[in-house]
Amino acid sequence: MKVEQLFTGCLAEMAYFIADKGEAAIIDPLRETKPYLDLLKKHRVKLKYIFLTHFHADFVSGQVDLAKATGAKIVFGPGAKPAYKIKNTKNNEKFMVGDVTLKVLHTPGHTMESISIVLIDKKGKEKYLFSGDALFIGDVGRPDLAVKSDLTQADLAGFLYDSLRKKIMKLPDDIIVYPNHGAGSACGKNMSKETWDTLGHQKEVNYALRADMTKEEFIKEVTTGLKTPPQYFPKNVGMNKSVNKSIDEVLKNGTKALSAREFKVLAEEKDVMVIDTRSKRAFAKEFIPGAWYFGLDGSFAPWIGALISDVNQKIIFIAPRGREEEVVTRLARVGYDNSIGFLKGGLRSWKAAGFKTANVGSISATEYAEKKGKKNLVDVRKESEYLSEHVVGAENAPLGNLVDNIAKFSPTKSYIVHCASGYRSLIAASILHSKGIKKITDVRGGFKALKRTDVKVSDYVCPTTLL
């Protein structure tokens, strides 16, 4: 028997590969099929089942393409009604993969069709729980992501309480919990950075599994402090219920090499967006005017989804050499299937064609600390981060709200922007620059670097925000 956790850091997502006696199952696959087909080939096994623990909101899953490529059966929980052929499983229904038994638990609450899966080995031992978004390490799934439901958050939280108490918590304490997400995902409030744990330890440390917690207390706990989910979440749910473009078609269209002149013509069209996925240093030094920065080596996909409002947006891009397919794949993971090409030769070819570039100012934290007459410092971290600790005098303009609040900035003023470490601030600087706010300077290293200087830092203040 082989069980492998497939962790994708950008989305803090875990898919699972299970194989035994020449057969395999995959739980919660991402959009692309190649990694799974490679695993099947490597282990010389045939894919029998593709399990989806629920209709995901934070990424587009690849079950339809994977089923077409392998002949595997797609399995969803009770009540799931996608536009493609599936098997609706029932509570306690069992599926065999070699000598391994996969027993389904219907665990509604995060969504109503949600399931968890217990792996039972050939000796009858319940070894692993693939808990989907019902139970995380340190947290539980948020109950506010159901799309077009008559149920309230409180209703869903009540179902989740029952699922945890009546099904999951009755499993052996030594069973290993394998969730679908970890720290960094917006599918929960306070997930641990750990990617697995025993159920017994979670009963000790996870607030939601406290033995003496009443249903009313649970509902209050899990519904308090929920932030509005990213705007792309319901769109991804819709895509996960539909038959989408094949990933092969998306990759073919998106990896078309464009000359500098072809790129420029497209960039000037109103319905085409330019994104720059290079390193922070490369972008800060020089970029194509109007481009939005989303570096591949940061939280690329979540910020694409949070800030580009139309999943059908046509996108052309600049990428580090050799990573063009990666850009298209990661866009597709969150439903952005309309990338239509990349700049062949990168910025060098753009400049060789005689086209103009732009840049944003850049200073170190030490240079900022030594700067006289410090004005218009903008902290683009989340409000919770800002309230926890911030540079005195900085105003909070969270990146997540920036696109809707450009009018709050003046094209005649100069702004110095920072985030925690320098990724979000460059995204903010690129958006502001594209909207005509040209006098922007980025603080390299962000708040982490600023704290190491002698700037005055406050650990709490009543919110006085720029936006």
pLDDT score of 154 more than 50: yes
- Residue 80 and residue 203 in one domain: yes
Note the pLDDT of residue 176: 98
Note the pLDDT of residue 310: 94
Contact (CB, 8 A) for 442 and 428: no
CATH of the domain at 406: 3.40.250.10
Last residue of a domain, one of 189, 205, 235: 235
314-330 residue pLDDT tens: 999 999 999 999 999 99
- Residue 281 and residue 414 in one domain: no
Q: What is the token pair recorded at 156? A: 């869903």
Q: Strands, DSSP E only, in 269-375?
A: 272-276, 292-293, 314-318, 339-343, 361-364
Confidence of residue 460 (pLDDT cuts 50, 70, 90): low
Q: Is residue 467 part of a domain?
A: no
Q: Rg (Cα) of the chain, in Å, rounded?
A: 24
Chain centroid offset of residue 24 CA: 27
Last residue of a domain, one of 352, 381, 414: 352
- Residue 53 and residue 193 in one domain: yes
- Residue 273 and residue 293 in one domain: yes
Q: What is the token pair recorded at 59? A: 């990424």
In angstroms, rounded to a whole number, what is the distance separating the alpha carbons of residues 87 and 186?
Answer: 28
Q: Is residue 13 part of a domain?
A: yes
Q: What are the C-alpha distances in Å from 459 to residues 386, 388, 428?
A: 9, 6, 24
11-64 residue pLDDT tens: 999 999 999 999 999 999 999 999 999 999 999 999 999 999 999 999 999 999
What percent of the chain stands above pLDDT 70? 97
What percent of the chain stands above pLDDT 90? 89
| Residue range of the domain that includes 375 | 361-458
- Residue 252 and residue 293 in one domain: yes
CA angle 398, 401, 402 (to 5 degrees): 80
Q: What are the C-alpha distances in Å from 311 to residues 46, 144, 235, 292, 448?
A: 34, 21, 8, 16, 33
Pairing outcome for strands 176-179 and 126-132: parallel
In angstroms, rounded to a whole number, what is the distance separating the alpha carbons of residues 176 and 174?
Answer: 6
Residue range 430-451: mean pLDDT, rounded: 96
Q: Is residue 31 part of a domain?
A: yes
Last residue of a domain, one of 235, 262, 291: 235
- Residue 292 and residue 260 in one domain: yes
CA-based nearest residue to 236, from 301, 149, 168: 301
Q: Is residue 283 part of a domain?
A: yes
Note the pLDDT of residue 372: 76
If one counts every other C-beta atom within 10 angstroms of the C-beta of residue 404, the result is 10
pLDDT score of 189 more than 80: no
349-392 residue pLDDT tens: 999 999 999 999 999 999 999 987 778 999 999 998 999 999 99
Q: Which helix (H) or strand (E) holds 123?
A: none
Decide which of 186 and 452 is more confident: 452
Q: Is residue 463 part of a domain?
A: no
Contact (CB, 8 A) for 390 and 355: no
Contact (CB, 8 A) for 126 and 175: yes
- Residue 82 and residue 176 in one domain: yes
**Total number of domains constituting the chain:** 3
Residue range 141-146: mean pLDDT, rounded: 84
CA-based nearest residue to 303, from 387, 419, 143, 390: 419
Residue type at 55?
F
86-125 residue pLDDT tens: 999 999 999 999 999 999 999 999 999 999 999 999 999 9
pLDDT score of 462 more than 80: no
pTM: 0.92
If one counts every other C-beta atom within 10 angstroms of the C-beta of residue 223, the result is 16
Q: Where on the phi/psi map is residue 102: left (φ > 0), alpha (ψ -120 to 50), or beta?
A: beta
In angstroms, rounded to a whole number, what is the distance separating the alpha carbons of residues 112 and 93?
Answer: 17
Confidence of residue 195 (pLDDT cuts 50, 70, 90): very high
206-230 residue pLDDT tens: 999 999 999 999 999 999 988 888 8
Q: What does the mean pLDDT of the chain come to?
A: 94
- Residue 294 and residue 228 in one domain: no
- Residue 6 and residue 77 in one domain: yes
Confidence of residue 147 (pLDDT cuts 50, 70, 90): low
- Residue 129 and residue 94 in one domain: yes
- Residue 199 and residue 293 in one domain: no
β-sheet bridge partners, residue 13: 8, 181
- Residue 267 and residue 216 in one domain: no
Dihedral angle at the C-alpha atoms of 147, 149, 154, 157, nearest 10 degrees? Answer: -60
Q: Is residue 396 part of a domain?
A: yes
pLDDT score of 464 more than 50: no
Note the pLDDT of residue 461: 53
Q: Is residue 465 part of a domain?
A: no
pLDDT score of 449 more than 60: yes
Confidence of residue 465 (pLDDT cuts 50, 70, 90): very low
pLDDT score of 436 more than 80: yes
pLDDT score of 170 more than 70: yes
Note the pLDDT of residue 408: 93
In angstroms, rounded to a whole number, what is the distance separating the alpha carbons of residues 134 and 143?
Answer: 9
Residue range 420-436: mean pLDDT, rounded: 96
Q: Is residue 240 part of a domain?
A: no
Q: At what angle do helices 300-307 and 324-333 cross, to 10 degrees?
A: 60
Note the pLDDT of residue 183: 78
CATH of the domain at 130: 3.60.15.10
